[in-house]
Amino acid sequence: MARDSESGFPIEPVYGPEALAGRDPEETLGEPGVYPYTRGVYPSMYTGRPWTMRQYAGFGTAAESNARYRRLIEHGTTGLSVAFDLPTQMGYDSDAPLAHGEAGKVGVAIDSIEDMRTLFAGIPLDRVSTSMTINAPAALLLLLYQLIGEEQGVAARNLTGTIQNDVLKEYIARGTYIFPPGPSLRLVADVFKYCRAEIPRWNTISISGYHMAEAGASPAQEIAFTLADGIEYVRTALAAGMAVDDFAPRLSFFFVSRTTLLEEAAKFRAARRIWARVMREEFGARDPRSQMLRFHTQTAGVQLTAQQPEVNLVRVAVQGLAAVLGGTQSLHTNAFDEAIALPTDKSARLALRTQQVLALETDVTATVDPLAGSYAVESLTDAVEAAALDLLRRVEDLGGAVAAIEQGFQKGEIERNAYRIAQETDAGDRVVVGVNRFRLEEEEPYEPLRVDPAIEEQQRDRLAKLRAERDRTAVSAALSALKGAAESEAGAANVLYPMKDALAARATLGEVCDALRDVWGTYVPADAF
The DSSP string of 23-91 is --HHHHT--TTSTT-TT-SSSSGGGTSPPEEEEEE--BSHHHHHHHHHHHHHTT--EEEEEB-HHHHHT
Cα-based distances in Å from 114 to 17, 144, 364, 474, 475: 61, 9, 44, 17, 15
User: What is the number of other CB atoms lying within 10 angstroms of the CB of residue 78?
Assistant: 18
Cα-based distances in Å from 72 to 77, 81, 430, 474: 5, 11, 36, 38
DSSP 153: T
Contact (CB, 8 A) for 10 and 19 = no
Instruction: Give the burial class of 101: count Cβ atoms within 10 A of its Cβ; 0-12 exposed, 13-18 middle, 19 or more buried.
Output: exposed
**Percentages helix, strand, coil for the chain, rounded to the nearest 5?**
55, 10, 40
Strand order in the sheet with 161-163: 202-203, 161-163, 129-133, 79-83, 52-57, 330-332, 295-299, 251-257, 205-208
pLDDT at 22: 83
pLDDT at 10: 93
Contact (CB, 8 A) for 115 and 62 = yes
Instruction: Give the burial class of 202: count Cβ atoms within 10 A of its Cβ; 0-12 exposed, 13-18 middle, 19 or more buried.
Output: buried
Residue among 466, 460, 454 at smallest CA distance from 114: 466
For the chain, the residue count is 529
DSSP 97: G
pLDDT at 57: 73
Alpha helices in 295-343 (DSSP H): 311-325
Report d(CA 453, CA 264) in Å as an integer.
Answer: 39
Contact (CB, 8 A) for 5 and 263 = yes
Contact (CB, 8 A) for 338 and 57 = no
Q: For the CA atoms of 20, 25, 27, 28, what is the dihedral angle to 10 degrees?
A: 50
Contact (CB, 8 A) for 355 and 369 = no
Entry pTM: 0.93
pLDDT at 529: 46
Most distant CA atoms of the chain, gap in Å: 74
pLDDT at 164: 97
What residues of the chain score a pLDDT lower than 50?
Answer: 529
Report d(CA 112, CA 463) in Å as an integer.
Answer: 8
**∠ at Cα 332 (304, 10), nearest 5°?**
55
